[in-house]
Structure 1
Amino acid sequence: MLLTAKSRISPYAGGLLLASVIAVAATFLSDHYGAPVMLFALLLGMAFHFLSEDGACAVGIDFAAKALLRFGVGLLGLRLGLAEVMSLGLTPVIAIIGFVLATFGCGVVMSRLFGRRTAFGMLAGGSVAICGASAALAITSVLPPHKDREQDTLFVVIGVTALSTIAMIVYPILFQSLGLSNIESGFLVGATIHDVAQVVGAGYSISEEAGVFATYVKILRVALLPVVMLVVMFSFRGAQQQSVGVPWFLVMFAGCAVLANLGVVPAPVLALLNEVSRWCLVIAIAALGVKTSLARIVKVKPSYSIILIVETLFLLCAALVFVLMIGI
């Protein structure tokens, strides 16, 4: 039994150890120099990109950047105060739905303007509007088969990941320079950055309050993924019929939020789980940094880049106008 367990764990050990060491170093630097731990984890991780495809590290790094991240996000529900969320009302929820639909439509329009297929526009629009690379892979699974589908998906995944990484660094500086509160900054981070990992990193680089609220807003966007997938499926005659489910970490986040607010979780256990969540997220961001390739980013085709950049700026401007003109 021990040998079986060891054989199952060993493929993950190298990558998890690498990401954990980077996370510890990032935490040490953050504690001593005051800069955001998530930013340190990302930048330090990028310095070790040459190990991302090493046989001893690749599986563990991928696990940390995906499964460990989602587990950490699920545990963030323990920090969400439902009373605070209820006090905000339905306005942020309605705004998020509007942003998602408008950005999805923007992708289709931009794709047609650049002479590309509607399917590519839905792929690009959905990835920017919902949750980046994860949404791109989910949407492409229901699009009708095409000889260029795999290449299109690859470029979209690279593009949105690059833009998310840039946004993770730039957006917190932008929002704070505008004098926005933690809640407003958290809303904007969750509403505008594409991938879940970068939302968490950017939110917590502002404050813990901004990080929790950014995650909540991002969860609202992720919850709309099944709806967008159904729209895509019904938009094409040859679309691939797939079961459309709810991401497990979304359910976990909601369940943890309910448990925490019912007061049934003892305070010591709650503190322990919050610390576990924090380390999961820092390790995941470190792994994401290791997976980030600047060389692949610069290879994205110009037309793909323009479409994704315009969508990203459209979503950012829409969210900023909402916060500055209407407020939360």
Structure 2
Amino acid sequence: MSDRTEQVATSDIPRPTQNLRTRVVSYFPGLAVAVLIAISAQFLSEHYGAPATLMALLLGMSLNFLSESGARTVPGIHFASRAVLRFGVALLGARVSLEVLSDLGVSLLCLVTTALACTILFAIIVGKFAGMDWRLSLLTGGAVAICGASAAVALNAVLPPRQNSDRDLALTIVAITLLSTSAMVLYPVLASHLQFDAKESGVFIGGTIHDVAQVVGAGFAMSEETGQIATLVKIVRVSLLAPTIIAVLIMVTVLGAGAGQKPQKLGQVIPGFVLGFAFLAALKSMGFLPAAAGDVANDLSRWLRLIALGAVGLKTSVKEFASIRPSHVTLALLATAFLAAFIVVGLLWYRG
């Protein structure tokens, strides 16, 4: 939406002083639409193999008129794209366990970690030369380096607000999903061409493909061992989401990285959902979170993020994509290529 529309739409959002019943009634229409979009996206994913996150965005964008100023659905859409999103991100902590780091080995763990950091740095540097906002560059680099849509959603939630942030998030997820789908098909062929063994292929696929489901698909398509290693490496990348978020928060708050921001104490500005993420990750790592509870939290997180992405799509106009510079998509492509090249070179060096 435009700035003016965003301002008007914000005025339609209930204030905290309103009683709970009024707020629930106000939120219900928009939230119900977002839930229906999430259910539809999951149906398409299960029956036709389409990526659920991409379907949620596209279905939402097709109903963008529901987010126009004055529509009864506006408050609920805003609530879903913010509060529901952050709760879903917090529950991602139940997927993270430090135990998986020791199973990979120091050398390969260093390779994956270094590749993540260098890819984000590469995206920021290239984005700077292309005249892009550093927040958009970091969002793109983080999505490529860590875990695709989940990382994009989490990072977008902690980055300082910017103009058209919802549109940029939607485009980033679309670009990352398409690139990840292409990688799922091409990377196993590349791994075979480079004569990688099962372990090397697993590290390559798990260390480069953005989406978890596509890592599993590409890995197990090669062999059982490759699939298991690829999944482990991917979990390691997902585990690095928490320290990445903390690092971004430090950069934004302590160093005053946001435009016009004054340095603040980190304890004053860490969002509650980040603390929730860290708390669940700590419980998981210490073995205090039962497997059944972790599975429930993971499933709930997936649904909440799907609902939120449907709301993000609802707030995104197809016409707005015409104003996007090709440099954004190009940056995602370059970051993807950089990550793949970095992992390949590292594996060849590791092989000796």
TM score, norm. by length of structure 2: 0.67
CA RMSD of aligned residues (A): 3.7
Q: Could you tell me which residue of structure 2 aligns to residue 167 of structure 1?
A: 176
1:101-125, Cα deviation, whole Å (9 max, x unpaired): 33222233333xxxxxxxx654554
Change (3 A) 1:74 1:85: farther
CA distance in 2 between counterparts of 1:234 and 1:250 reads: 19
Q: Where do residues 211-250 of structure 1 align in structure 2 (5 Å cutoff)?
A: 215-229=238-252, 233=256, 239-243=260-264, 245-250=269-274
Q: Could you tell me which residue of structure 1 aligns to residue 286 of structure 2?
A: 262
CA distance in 2 between counterparts of 1:59 and 1:235 reads: 27
CA distance in 2 between counterparts of 1:279 and 1:156 reads: 22
- Shifted more, 72-81 versus 29-38: the winner is 29-38
Q: Could you tell me which residue of structure 2 aligns to residue 5 of structure 1?
A: 20
Q: Could you tell me which residue of structure 2 aligns to residue 177 of structure 1?
A: 186
CA distance in 2 between counterparts of 1:79 and 1:138 reads: 19
Q: 1:64 aligned to 71, 80, 83, which one?
A: 80
Give the CA deviation at 1:14.
1.2
Q: Do 2:90 and 2:273's aligned partners in 1 also have CA atoms closer than 8 Å? A: yes
Give the CA deviation at 1:173.
2.6
CA distance in 2 between counterparts of 1:27 and 1:103 reads: 31
Identity of aligned residues (%): 25
Change (3 A) 1:28 1:137: closer
Matched, 1:32 2:47: yes
Q: Do 2:112 and 2:237's aligned partners in 1 also have CA atoms closer than 8 Å? A: no
The one-letter amino acid of 1:61's match is I
Give the CA deviation at 1:138.
7.1
CA distance in 1 between counterparts of 2:158 and 2:91 reads: 23
Q: Where do residues 1-328 of structure 1 align in structure 2 (5 Å cutoff)?
A: 4-53=19-68, 55-88=71-104, 89-111=109-131, 122=134, 124-130=136-142, 153-154=162-163, 158-159=167-168, 161-179=170-188, 184-185=204-205, 187-188=207-208, 202-204=211-213, 207=216, 215-229=238-252, 233=256, 239-243=260-264, 245-300=269-324, 305-327=325-347
Give the CA deviation at 1:286.
2.0
CA distance in 2 between counterparts of 1:308 and 1:172 reads: 18
Q: Do 1:127 and 1:134's aligned partners in 2 also have CA atoms closer than 8 Å? A: no
Q: Do 1:81 and 1:257's aligned partners in 2 also have CA atoms closer than 8 Å? A: yes
CA distance in 2 between counterparts of 1:266 and 1:32 reads: 31
* Alignment coverage as a number of residue pairs: 290
Aligned partner of residue 55 in structure 1, secondary structure: coil
Give the CA deviation at 1:139.
6.7
After TM superposition, what 4+ stretches of structure 1 lie above 6 angstroms from structure 2? 131-141, 180-183
Change (3 A) 1:94 1:77: same
Give the CA deviation at 1:204.
4.3
